[in-house]
Protein backbone atom coordinates (compact mmCIF):
# COMPACT_ATOMS: atom_id res chain seq x y z
CA UNK A 1 0.00 0.00 0.00
CA UNK A 2 0.97 3.62 -0.40
CA UNK A 3 1.17 5.04 3.14
CA UNK A 4 1.54 8.69 4.10
CA UNK A 5 2.77 9.27 7.66
CA UNK A 6 2.36 12.85 8.87
CA UNK A 7 3.68 14.71 11.88
CA UNK A 8 4.81 18.27 12.53
CA UNK A 9 8.30 17.10 13.60
CA UNK A 10 10.43 14.37 12.03
CA UNK A 11 13.99 13.12 12.33
CA UNK A 12 16.53 14.69 12.67
CA UNK A 13 14.49 17.26 14.60
CA UNK A 14 14.72 16.65 18.35
CA UNK A 15 11.17 15.70 19.49
CA UNK A 16 11.12 11.94 20.28
CA UNK A 17 7.99 11.25 18.20
CA UNK A 18 9.85 12.27 15.05
CA UNK A 19 12.53 9.67 15.74
CA UNK A 20 9.94 7.02 16.57
CA UNK A 21 8.06 7.81 13.36
CA UNK A 22 11.25 7.24 11.38
CA UNK A 23 11.51 3.73 12.87
CA UNK A 24 7.85 3.04 12.03
CA UNK A 25 8.36 4.29 8.48
CA UNK A 26 11.48 2.15 7.97
CA UNK A 27 9.66 -0.93 9.27
CA UNK A 28 6.63 -0.41 7.04
CA UNK A 29 8.91 0.17 4.06
CA UNK A 30 10.80 -3.05 4.81
CA UNK A 31 7.43 -4.83 4.93
CA UNK A 32 6.86 -3.87 1.29
CA UNK A 33 4.80 -0.69 1.57
CA UNK A 34 5.42 2.49 -0.42
CA UNK A 35 6.04 4.86 2.50
CA UNK A 36 5.97 8.66 2.40
CA UNK A 37 6.50 11.09 5.29
CA UNK A 38 5.27 14.67 5.52
CA UNK A 39 6.74 16.93 8.20
CA UNK A 40 8.29 20.35 8.55
CA UNK A 41 11.94 21.21 8.27
CA UNK A 42 13.72 20.83 11.64
CA UNK A 43 12.46 23.79 13.65
CA UNK A 44 11.81 22.74 17.24
CA UNK A 45 14.74 24.83 18.48
CA UNK A 46 16.65 27.80 17.13
CA UNK A 47 19.70 25.56 16.60
CA UNK A 48 17.80 22.67 14.98
CA UNK A 49 19.83 20.56 12.52
CA UNK A 50 19.44 21.10 8.82
CA UNK A 51 17.66 18.64 6.52
CA UNK A 52 16.65 18.81 2.84
CA UNK A 53 13.13 19.66 1.79
CA UNK A 54 12.89 16.36 -0.06
CA UNK A 55 14.95 13.21 0.29
CA UNK A 56 14.71 9.47 -0.01
CA UNK A 57 16.15 7.55 2.94
CA UNK A 58 15.85 3.99 4.22
CA UNK A 59 13.31 3.13 1.53
CA UNK A 60 10.96 6.04 2.27
CA UNK A 61 10.28 9.41 0.65
CA UNK A 62 10.38 12.43 2.97
CA UNK A 63 8.82 15.82 2.17
CA UNK A 64 9.52 18.67 4.57
CA UNK A 65 7.59 21.94 4.68
CA UNK A 66 9.32 25.28 5.23
CA UNK A 67 8.46 26.89 8.58
CA UNK A 68 10.17 29.28 10.98
CA UNK A 69 12.29 28.02 13.88
CA UNK A 70 10.27 28.18 17.09
CA UNK A 71 12.65 27.91 20.02
CA UNK A 72 11.44 30.30 22.71
CA UNK A 73 9.34 32.42 20.36
CA UNK A 74 5.81 33.46 21.20
CA UNK A 75 2.81 31.33 20.36
CA UNK A 76 2.03 33.41 17.29
CA UNK A 77 4.96 31.83 15.42
CA UNK A 78 3.90 28.36 16.52
CA UNK A 79 0.34 29.00 15.38
CA UNK A 80 1.55 30.26 12.00
CA UNK A 81 3.72 27.16 11.58
CA UNK A 82 0.84 24.88 12.51
CA UNK A 83 -1.44 26.43 9.90
CA UNK A 84 1.25 26.22 7.20
CA UNK A 85 1.82 22.57 8.06
CA UNK A 86 -1.89 21.73 7.95
CA UNK A 87 -2.24 23.35 4.54
CA UNK A 88 0.66 21.18 3.41
CA UNK A 89 -1.11 18.05 4.69
CA UNK A 90 -4.10 18.79 2.50
CA UNK A 91 -1.97 19.40 -0.58
CA UNK A 92 0.19 16.33 0.01
CA UNK A 93 -2.77 13.99 0.37
CA UNK A 94 -4.44 15.37 -2.73
CA UNK A 95 -1.23 15.12 -4.79
CA UNK A 96 -0.05 11.73 -3.50
CA UNK A 97 -3.47 10.03 -3.23
CA UNK A 98 -2.26 7.39 -0.76
CA UNK A 99 -4.13 4.34 0.46
CA UNK A 100 -3.54 5.19 4.13
CA UNK A 101 -2.92 8.49 5.92
CA UNK A 102 -1.80 8.76 9.54
CA UNK A 103 -1.69 11.74 11.89
CA UNK A 104 -0.80 12.22 15.52
CA UNK A 105 -2.27 14.63 18.05
CA UNK A 106 0.11 17.51 17.29
CA UNK A 107 -0.67 20.21 16.41
CA UNK A 108 -3.62 19.34 18.65
CA UNK A 109 -6.95 18.58 16.98
CA UNK A 110 -6.32 20.46 13.73
CA UNK A 111 -3.60 18.21 12.29
CA UNK A 112 -5.68 15.05 12.64
CA UNK A 113 -8.84 16.80 11.48
CA UNK A 114 -7.06 18.09 8.38
CA UNK A 115 -5.49 14.72 7.57
CA UNK A 116 -8.76 12.88 8.16
CA UNK A 117 -10.77 15.20 5.91
CA UNK A 118 -8.13 15.04 3.16
CA UNK A 119 -8.01 11.24 3.38
CA UNK A 120 -11.78 11.07 3.11
CA UNK A 121 -11.74 13.17 -0.07
CA UNK A 122 -9.32 10.83 -1.86
CA UNK A 123 -10.81 7.61 -0.47
CA UNK A 124 -7.86 6.78 1.79
CA UNK A 125 -8.04 5.06 5.16
CA UNK A 126 -7.12 7.23 8.16
CA UNK A 127 -5.18 6.15 11.26
CA UNK A 128 -5.29 8.47 14.29
CA UNK A 129 -2.25 8.00 16.55
CA UNK A 130 -3.46 9.67 19.75
CA UNK A 131 -0.47 10.67 21.86
CA UNK A 132 -2.54 13.05 24.02
CA UNK A 133 -6.32 13.34 24.10
CA UNK A 134 -7.18 16.92 23.14
CA UNK A 135 -8.72 19.29 24.00
CA UNK A 136 -9.31 17.59 27.37
CA UNK A 137 -5.56 17.63 28.06
CA UNK A 138 -5.60 21.43 28.01
CA UNK A 139 -8.57 21.66 30.38
CA UNK A 140 -7.09 19.24 32.93
CA UNK A 141 -3.70 20.94 32.82
CA UNK A 142 -5.18 24.44 33.11
CA UNK A 143 -4.11 25.48 29.61
CA UNK A 144 -5.54 28.43 27.70
CA UNK A 145 -7.53 26.32 25.22
CA UNK A 146 -9.16 24.40 28.06
CA UNK A 147 -10.40 27.69 29.54
CA UNK A 148 -11.49 29.31 26.28
CA UNK A 149 -14.83 29.40 24.43
CA UNK A 150 -13.35 27.31 21.59
CA UNK A 151 -12.99 24.24 23.85
CA UNK A 152 -16.40 22.77 23.01
CA UNK A 153 -15.93 23.42 19.29
CA UNK A 154 -12.55 21.68 19.29
CA UNK A 155 -13.96 18.71 21.19
CA UNK A 156 -16.75 18.32 18.63
CA UNK A 157 -14.21 18.55 15.81
CA UNK A 158 -11.91 15.97 17.38
CA UNK A 159 -14.82 13.62 18.10
CA UNK A 160 -15.75 13.78 14.43
CA UNK A 161 -12.15 12.89 13.52
CA UNK A 162 -12.19 9.93 15.91
CA UNK A 163 -15.49 8.63 14.51
CA UNK A 164 -14.22 8.88 10.93
CA UNK A 165 -10.98 7.03 11.70
CA UNK A 166 -10.39 3.57 10.29
CA UNK A 167 -8.08 2.82 13.22
CA UNK A 168 -7.19 4.56 16.48
CA UNK A 169 -3.95 3.89 18.33
CA UNK A 170 -3.27 5.26 21.81
CA UNK A 171 -0.90 4.64 24.71
CA UNK A 172 -2.91 3.31 27.67
CA UNK A 173 -6.22 1.85 28.76
CA UNK A 174 -7.02 5.07 30.63
CA UNK A 175 -6.63 7.08 27.43
CA UNK A 176 -8.64 4.50 25.49
CA UNK A 177 -11.51 4.85 27.97
CA UNK A 178 -11.49 8.63 27.52
CA UNK A 179 -11.63 8.18 23.75
CA UNK A 180 -14.44 5.61 23.93
CA UNK A 181 -16.47 7.96 26.11
CA UNK A 182 -16.77 10.31 23.12
CA UNK A 183 -19.53 8.17 21.61
CA UNK A 184 -20.82 4.75 20.64
CA UNK A 185 -19.60 4.98 17.05
CA UNK A 186 -15.90 5.34 17.98
CA UNK A 187 -13.89 2.56 16.25
CA UNK A 188 -11.97 -0.01 18.23
CA UNK A 189 -8.95 1.48 19.99
CA UNK A 190 -5.58 -0.27 19.79
CA UNK A 191 -3.38 0.23 22.86
CA UNK A 192 0.24 0.44 21.80
CA UNK A 193 2.67 2.30 24.02
CA UNK A 194 5.58 4.24 22.60
CA UNK A 195 8.99 2.63 22.44
CA UNK A 196 12.50 3.86 23.11
CA UNK A 197 15.18 4.21 20.49
CA UNK A 198 18.90 3.60 20.53
CA UNK A 199 20.75 6.90 20.67
CA UNK A 200 24.06 7.42 18.86
CA UNK A 201 26.94 6.66 21.20
CA UNK A 202 29.92 8.78 22.08
CA UNK A 203 28.59 11.08 24.84
CA UNK A 204 29.84 10.47 28.37
CA UNK A 205 27.43 10.73 31.31
CA UNK A 206 27.73 13.55 33.79
CA UNK A 207 29.57 12.13 36.83
CA UNK A 208 27.76 12.26 40.18
CA UNK A 209 28.63 15.26 42.32
CA UNK A 210 30.63 14.24 45.40
CA UNK A 211 29.72 10.62 44.86
CA UNK A 212 26.02 11.20 45.57
CA UNK A 213 23.30 9.01 44.12
CA UNK A 214 20.93 10.70 41.73
CA UNK A 215 17.23 10.90 40.96
CA UNK A 216 16.52 12.45 37.57
CA UNK A 217 13.59 14.10 35.84
CA UNK A 218 14.22 14.41 32.10
CA UNK A 219 11.70 16.08 29.83
CA UNK A 220 9.22 18.90 29.53
CA UNK A 221 8.69 21.05 32.62
CA UNK A 222 5.17 22.12 31.80
CA UNK A 223 1.67 22.13 33.22
CA UNK A 224 1.12 18.38 32.82
CA UNK A 225 3.86 17.48 35.28
CA UNK A 226 2.88 19.07 38.64
CA UNK A 227 6.58 19.53 39.34
CA UNK A 228 6.16 22.17 42.08
CA UNK A 229 4.39 19.57 44.21
CA UNK A 230 6.95 16.88 43.42
CA UNK A 231 9.91 19.13 44.24
CA UNK A 232 8.33 20.29 47.48
CA UNK A 233 8.30 16.69 48.65
CA UNK A 234 11.73 15.87 47.22
CA UNK A 235 13.31 18.85 48.95
CA UNK A 236 12.12 17.38 52.26
CA UNK A 237 13.47 13.98 51.25
CA UNK A 238 16.87 15.40 50.33
CA UNK A 239 17.17 17.18 53.67
CA UNK A 240 16.89 13.74 55.27
CA UNK A 241 19.05 11.88 52.72
CA UNK A 242 22.35 13.74 52.28
CA UNK A 243 23.78 11.09 49.96
CA UNK A 244 21.16 11.83 47.23
CA UNK A 245 20.65 14.64 44.73
CA UNK A 246 17.91 15.52 42.22
CA UNK A 247 18.62 16.60 38.64
CA UNK A 248 16.00 18.16 36.37
CA UNK A 249 16.99 18.19 32.71
CA UNK A 250 14.87 19.87 30.08
CA UNK A 251 12.87 22.97 29.32
CA UNK A 252 9.28 24.10 29.50
CA UNK A 253 6.84 26.76 30.62
CA UNK A 254 7.52 26.27 34.34
CA UNK A 255 11.29 25.84 34.26
CA UNK A 256 12.11 29.42 35.24
CA UNK A 257 9.63 29.37 38.12
CA UNK A 258 10.94 26.03 39.37
CA UNK A 259 14.51 27.22 39.21
CA UNK A 260 13.65 30.42 41.07
CA UNK A 261 11.90 28.44 43.78
CA UNK A 262 14.16 25.41 44.18
CA UNK A 263 17.41 26.34 42.45
CA UNK A 264 19.08 27.43 45.71
CA UNK A 265 18.74 23.97 47.24
CA UNK A 266 22.28 22.57 47.39
CA UNK A 267 21.25 19.21 45.95
CA UNK A 268 18.67 20.16 43.32
CA UNK A 269 20.33 20.88 39.97
CA UNK A 270 18.91 22.07 36.66
CA UNK A 271 20.43 21.02 33.33
CA UNK A 272 19.47 22.48 29.96
CA UNK A 273 17.45 20.49 27.45
CA UNK A 274 19.64 18.51 25.09
CA UNK A 275 19.20 16.03 22.22
CA UNK A 276 18.40 12.49 23.24
CA UNK A 277 21.84 11.31 22.11
CA UNK A 278 23.34 13.52 24.80
CA UNK A 279 20.58 13.04 27.35
CA UNK A 280 20.56 9.24 27.27
CA UNK A 281 23.88 8.64 29.06
CA UNK A 282 23.00 11.25 31.68
CA UNK A 283 19.73 9.46 32.37
CA UNK A 284 21.41 6.06 32.37
CA UNK A 285 23.94 7.33 34.93
CA UNK A 286 21.19 8.09 37.47
CA UNK A 287 19.79 5.68 40.06
CA UNK A 288 16.04 6.37 39.80
CA UNK A 289 13.79 8.19 37.34
CA UNK A 290 11.11 10.68 38.36
CA UNK A 291 7.65 10.70 36.77
CA UNK A 292 5.22 13.42 37.80
CA UNK A 293 1.71 14.05 36.51
CA UNK A 294 -0.98 16.52 37.42
CA UNK A 295 -4.05 14.83 38.87
CA UNK A 296 -6.31 13.51 36.11
CA UNK A 297 -3.73 13.72 33.31
CA UNK A 298 -3.50 9.92 33.05
CA UNK A 299 -6.93 9.97 31.40
CA UNK A 300 -5.53 11.95 28.47
CA UNK A 301 -1.78 11.25 28.38
CA UNK A 302 0.84 8.67 29.29
CA UNK A 303 4.39 9.78 30.15
CA UNK A 304 6.67 8.17 27.59
CA UNK A 305 9.65 9.03 29.77
CA UNK A 306 8.56 6.13 31.99
CA UNK A 307 9.59 3.63 29.34
CA UNK A 308 12.79 5.57 28.70
CA UNK A 309 13.80 5.29 32.36
CA UNK A 310 12.90 1.61 32.59
CA UNK A 311 14.62 0.84 29.30
CA UNK A 312 17.82 2.35 30.70
CA UNK A 313 17.57 0.27 33.88
CA UNK A 314 16.13 2.86 36.28
CA UNK A 315 13.34 2.15 38.77
CA UNK A 316 10.88 5.02 39.01
CA UNK A 317 9.26 7.19 41.64
CA UNK A 318 5.84 8.21 40.34
CA UNK A 319 3.58 11.06 41.39
CA UNK A 320 0.28 10.01 39.84
CA UNK A 321 -3.20 8.81 40.71
CA UNK A 322 -2.79 5.35 42.28
CA UNK A 323 -5.94 3.98 40.62
CA UNK A 324 -4.70 4.58 37.09
CA UNK A 325 -2.91 2.23 34.70
CA UNK A 326 0.46 3.91 35.15
CA UNK A 327 0.49 3.25 38.89
CA UNK A 328 -0.64 -0.34 38.34
CA UNK A 329 2.12 -0.89 35.77
CA UNK A 330 4.79 0.32 38.20
CA UNK A 331 3.79 -1.00 41.60
CA UNK A 332 2.15 -4.16 40.30
CA UNK A 333 5.42 -5.23 38.71
CA UNK A 334 7.70 -3.95 41.47
CA UNK A 335 9.34 -1.37 39.19
CA UNK A 336 9.26 1.49 41.66
CA UNK A 337 7.02 3.35 44.06
CA UNK A 338 3.87 5.45 43.54
CA UNK A 339 2.89 8.19 45.94
CA UNK A 340 -0.61 7.79 47.35
CA UNK A 341 -1.24 11.52 47.78
CA UNK A 342 0.27 14.85 46.74
CA UNK A 343 1.21 15.78 50.28
CA UNK A 344 4.94 16.68 50.44
CA UNK A 345 5.45 14.40 53.43
CA UNK A 346 3.98 11.45 51.53
CA UNK A 347 6.23 12.17 48.56
CA UNK A 348 9.24 12.31 50.87
CA UNK A 349 8.17 9.04 52.47
CA UNK A 350 7.78 7.35 49.06
CA UNK A 351 11.26 8.55 48.09
CA UNK A 352 12.72 7.19 51.33
CA UNK A 353 10.95 3.87 50.84
CA UNK A 354 12.17 3.42 47.26
CA UNK A 355 15.74 4.48 48.00
CA UNK A 356 16.15 2.13 50.96
CA UNK A 357 19.02 -0.14 49.83
CA UNK A 358 17.12 -3.45 49.83
CA UNK A 359 14.01 -1.96 48.17
CA UNK A 360 16.06 -0.21 45.49
CA UNK A 361 18.01 -3.40 44.76
CA UNK A 362 14.76 -5.39 44.33
CA UNK A 363 13.31 -2.71 42.06
CA UNK A 364 16.44 -2.66 39.91
CA UNK A 365 16.29 -6.45 39.62
CA UNK A 366 12.63 -6.23 38.53
CA UNK A 367 13.53 -3.61 35.92
CA UNK A 368 16.36 -5.79 34.58
CA UNK A 369 13.97 -8.76 34.33
CA UNK A 370 11.71 -6.91 31.88
CA UNK A 371 12.06 -7.54 28.14
CA UNK A 372 14.87 -5.34 26.92
CA UNK A 373 14.22 -2.16 24.95
CA UNK A 374 15.09 -3.78 21.62
CA UNK A 375 12.57 -6.57 22.17
CA UNK A 376 9.83 -4.12 23.16
CA UNK A 377 10.62 -1.93 20.17
CA UNK A 378 10.42 -4.86 17.77
CA UNK A 379 7.06 -5.92 19.21
CA UNK A 380 5.68 -2.41 18.78
CA UNK A 381 6.94 -2.13 15.21
CA UNK A 382 5.50 -5.55 14.36
CA UNK A 383 2.17 -4.30 15.71
CA UNK A 384 2.27 -1.40 13.21
CA UNK A 385 2.88 -3.85 10.37
CA UNK A 386 -0.06 -5.96 11.58
CA UNK A 387 -2.28 -2.87 11.80
CA UNK A 388 -1.57 -1.96 8.18
CA UNK A 389 -2.23 -5.56 7.14
CA UNK A 390 -5.65 -5.36 8.82
CA UNK A 391 -6.44 -2.09 7.05
CA UNK A 392 -5.42 -3.58 3.69
CA UNK A 393 -7.61 -6.64 4.32
CA UNK A 394 -10.58 -4.44 5.27
CA UNK A 395 -10.19 -2.41 2.06
pLDDT of residue 184: 75
* Beta pairing class for 336-339 and 316-319: parallel
Q: Are 244 and 321 in contact (CB under 8 A)?
A: no
pTM: 0.90
Mean per-residue pLDDT, 84-104? 97
Q: Are 356 and 350 in contact (CB under 8 A)?
A: no
pLDDT of residue 359: 96
Q: What is the CB neighbour count within 10 angstroms for residue 103?
A: 30
- Residue 83 pLDDT exceeds 60: yes
Q: pLDDT tens for residues 155-169?
A: 999 999 999 999 999
Q: pLDDT tens for residues 111-120?
A: 999 999 999 9
Order across the sheet with 213-218: list the strands: 268-271, 244-249, 213-218, 288-292, 316-319, 336-339
- Residue 186 pLDDT exceeds 80: yes
CATH classification number, 2-192, choose in 3.90.1150.10, 3.40.50.2000, 3.30.450.40, 3.40.50.300: 3.40.50.2000
Q: How confident is the model at residue 256 (pLDDT cuts 50, 70, 90)?
A: very high
pLDDT of residue 29: 97
258 by Cβ neighbours in 10 Å (0-12 / 13-18 / 19+) ranks as: buried
Average model confidence (pLDDT) across the chain? 91
209-371 and 2-192 share a CATH fold: yes
Q: How confident is the model at residue 144 (pLDDT cuts 50, 70, 90)?
A: confident
Query: Where is pLDDT greater, at 253 or 52?
Result: 52
- Domain ranges (residues) in the chain: 2-192, 209-371
Measured between its terminal Cα atoms, the distance across the chain in Å is 11
- Residue 198 pLDDT exceeds 70: no
Q: What is the CB neighbour count within 10 angstroms for residue 44?
A: 18
Topology of the domain covering 209-371: Rossmann fold (3.40.50)
Amino acid sequence: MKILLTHRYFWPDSPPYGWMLKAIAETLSAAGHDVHVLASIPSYTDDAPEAPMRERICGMSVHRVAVRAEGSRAGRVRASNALAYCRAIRREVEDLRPDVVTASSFPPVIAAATASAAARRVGAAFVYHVQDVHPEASRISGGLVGRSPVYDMLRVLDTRTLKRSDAIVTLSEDMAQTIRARGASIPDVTILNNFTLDAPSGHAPVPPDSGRRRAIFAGNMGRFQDLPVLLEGLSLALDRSPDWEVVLMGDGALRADLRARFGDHPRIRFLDRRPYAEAEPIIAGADIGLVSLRSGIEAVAYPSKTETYLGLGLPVLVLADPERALASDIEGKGLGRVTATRDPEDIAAAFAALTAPETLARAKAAVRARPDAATARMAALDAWVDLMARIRAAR
